Amino acid sequence: MKRFLIGIATTLLLVGASAAGQAQESSGVQVGIDMWLNQWTQDRPGFASTTSDFVMLLGPTIEVTLPSQVFVKGSYLVSTSDYTFSDVVPPFNVERQDVNAALGYWIVPGFGILAGYRDTTLNDTSSGVKDTLYGPLIGIVGDAYVDDQLSFYGRLDYLFTKFEEKDALGTFSENSPGWMVAFGVKYAFTRSFTGSFGYRYETNQGDISGINDSFSGVTFSGLFTF
């Protein structure tokens, strides 16, 4: 699954790079809303895989592209309901909060590189356990333009993340690197408003616990250009 999704994103990125002459990475500011309807799947060594109900993450996003082709991205997303694992005894409910920031550069129109930082907080509202996944990332991003209104996008990040869990007994931490893959389609309804629909998959695995956490689902966004 992960290799398949990485393959799709890489293909879109290569197409974006090869279609550089058609791309229009104009400078400006885009502000709007990001949404991600996703499920959480957890695999623990020696136990059966378990998957949560679907949860919507929602929040503001901003992207600024400078005339120098340097761009900045940022978003803050929170879950509108808890991840619920009803097949676990006792069941547990987790709320999520994401902070993401990245600085990048369009090497050619339609293909860029970026580096950034992410911080994901997962609070178990039933037990009070708090998990945090945080750390730097590097990635590549691309846009493949069909015409002035329709385009396809792709992004592939490698996450140099660490995992930290705090409970009543103390704190546990480990390195937990992973990947994030996103791809989809964008459509400019007007010169000042663009909508997008896509798919996002992210995964990380602890180097001590061996626990693998994966989040996957469809994405939506609406951006106003200034």
20-34, 65-79, 97-111, 174-188: which has the minimum mean pLDDT?
Answer: 20-34
Number of compact structural domains in the chain: 1
203 Cβ neighbours under 8 A, 6+ residues apart: 2, 178, 179, 212, 213, 214, 215
Give the pLDDT confidence score for residue 20 in this predicted structure.
47
Instruction: Give tens-digit pLDDT for 161-219.
Output: 999 999 988 999 999 999 999 999 999 999 999 999 999 999 999 999 999 999 999 99
**Residue 54 in tokens:** 């679907």
* Percent of the residues in the chain that have a pLDDT greater than 90, as a whole number: 77
**Residue 215 in tokens:** 């989040």
Mean predicted confidence (pLDDT) in 45-70: 94
Mean predicted confidence (pLDDT) in 33-49: 94
**Residue 36 in tokens:** 């991600």
**Residue 217 in tokens:** 């689902």
Phi, psi of 4 (to 5 degrees): -65, -45
Give the pLDDT confidence score for residue 89 in this predicted structure.
67
Confidence of residue 87 (pLDDT cuts 50, 70, 90): confident
Task: Give the structural domain span for 110.
Answer: 2-218
If one compares 87 and 201, the residue with the highest pLDDT of the two is 201
Confidence of residue 6 (pLDDT cuts 50, 70, 90): low
Count Cβ atoms below 10 Å from residue 21 Cβ, excluding itself. 9
**201 in any annotated domain:** yes
Q: How far apart are CA 223 and CA 226, in angstroms?
A: 10
Amino acid making up residue 150? L
Nearest-Å Rg of the Cα atoms of the chain is 18
Q: Does pLDDT of 14 surpass 80?
A: no
Mean predicted confidence (pLDDT) in 3-15: 55
Mean of per-residue pLDDT scores for the chain: 90
**225 in any annotated domain:** no
Give the pLDDT confidence score for residue 21 in this predicted structure.
45
**224 in any annotated domain:** no
Count Cβ atoms below 10 Å from residue 210 Cβ, excluding itself. 12
**6 in any annotated domain:** yes
| Global confidence as pTM | 0.88
Mean predicted confidence (pLDDT) in 11-32: 64
**195 in any annotated domain:** yes
Mean predicted confidence (pLDDT) in 130-141: 97
Q: Identify the CATH number of the domain in which residue 153 sits.
A: 2.40.128.90
Mean predicted confidence (pLDDT) in 15-35: 70
**17 in any annotated domain:** yes
Could you tell me if 185 and 197 are in contact, meaning their C-beta atoms sit under 8 angstroms apart?
yes
